Amino acid sequence: MVKDMTNTKDIISTKNLNLWYDTKQALIDISMDMQQNKVTALIGPSGCGKSTLIRCFNRMNDVIDKCKITGEVTFHGKNIYSSSADAVGIRKKIGMVFQKPNPFPKSIYENIAYGPKIQGIKDKKKLDYIVEKSLKDAALWNEVSDRLNESAMGLSGGQQQRLCIARSLAIEPEIILMDEPCSALDPIATAKIEDLINVLKKDYTVIIVTHNMQQAARVSDFAAYMYLGKLIEFGKTKQIFEKPTEELTENYITGRFG
């Protein structure tokens, strides 16, 4: 494992993380450290465990039956899987955007305001401010500012995905997890979201799962290559793509399989 030696703090790490779906082991001994305010991409062929891994970071695997985890995931030094940790509280700091956009069947305003309202914010002016800011940060404000009270289901796929991103931003998380956010979108919408990721990393840490190698190369600072549940190589994106140290990584990058 290559570890970057610059002075930025590691914000989230895993240590000897193993995961079983029933009896099948999906993650084998994953240990990695991700840096703050950087974009880390998880790449690898289908079924290698990237989505499973990213869902561990905000304990979304808790909702799946028969899922067993050993090992640690440390967020700011504290293990989020310890028995005293609060899954709900963690998800307020680590947000997630899913592969298929999943807006709530409510108005655009209510979608964005959902997170803050859950946290207890009731003041209308404050909610208005948060909604506007989140939509602007997600580069969606100009397109929807005149129809905030219309149903979110009427937006196009790309707009819905940006809405979901705005929705995650509204709770001001520290990390944003993105599970193949562009795979259901057309190239233009994809480009808009990739631009957005570049802007987001100034204020947030982004971890993105992608099966699109070119996207990983465009968008990420660090890359982790996974294969069959194991972490094969982790390092700066430039290095992974130009001079991979492992043979498996090289095979994937050069397209021999995957």
Partner 1 sequence: MKLPLDITKIQSFYTYLKSGTWITFPNIVFLLITAFSLIMILSGFVSAMNNSYIGDGVLRFLLLATGILFIIQTVKIRFKHHYTIKLLLPTICFIIILFLFAYFLPLFPPKYDLRPYEITASLLKFLVISIFLILTGLLSLSFNIRSFFGFTSKGKQYSAYIVLIFSILLILYPLIIFIGNITVNGIGGINWEFLTEDVRSHGQQGGIVKALIGTICLIIGVTVISLPLGIGAAVYLTEYAKGGIIVRIIRITVDILQGIPSIVFGLFALAVLVPLFGISLINGILVLSFLTLPIIIRASEEAILAVPGSIREGSYALGASKWQTIKRVVLPPALPGIITGGVLGLGRAAGETAPIMFVACVFLGAPHIPNLFAPIQALPYHLLTLIYYLGAYEVEQNAWATAFLLIAIVLLINAGSILIREKYRVEF
- Judged by beta carbon, residue 120 or residue 187, the one nearer partner 1 is 120
d(CA 130, CA 128): 6
- Judged by beta carbon, residue 95 or residue 235, the one nearer partner 1 is 95
Considering only 45, 72, 74, 114, the residue that binds partner 1 (CB under 8 A) is 114
d(CA 39, CA 202): 10
| Dihedral of alpha carbons 26, 215, 193, 208, sign | positive
Considering only 9, 68, 78, 100, the residue that binds partner 1 (CB under 8 A) is 100
For residue 190, the minimal CB distance to partner 1 (Å) is 20
Let me know: does 50 contact 216? Beta carbons within 8 Å.
no
Task: Establish if 76 lies at the interface with partner 1 (CB under 8 A).
Answer: no
The helix, strand and coil proportions of the chain, stated in percent and rounded to the nearest 5, come to 40, 25, 35
Considering only 8, 70, 102, 254, the residue that binds partner 1 (CB under 8 A) is 102
| Residue 12, φ and ψ in degrees, nearest 5 | -140, 135
- Judged by beta carbon, residue 82 or residue 102, the one nearer partner 1 is 102
d(CA 227, CA 190): 25
Q: Of the listed pieces 31-39, 46-54, 57-65, 239-247, which binds partner 1 according to CB under 8 A?
A: 57-65
Task: Establish if 88 lies at the interface with partner 1 (CB under 8 A).
Answer: yes
d(CA 204, CA 221): 13
Q: Per CB under 8 A, which of residues 224..253 are in contact with partner 1?
A: none
Site residues (vs partner 1, CB under 8 A): 58, 60, 63, 65, 88-89, 91-92, 95-96, 98, 100, 102-106, 114-115, 118-119, 153, 164, 167-168, 171
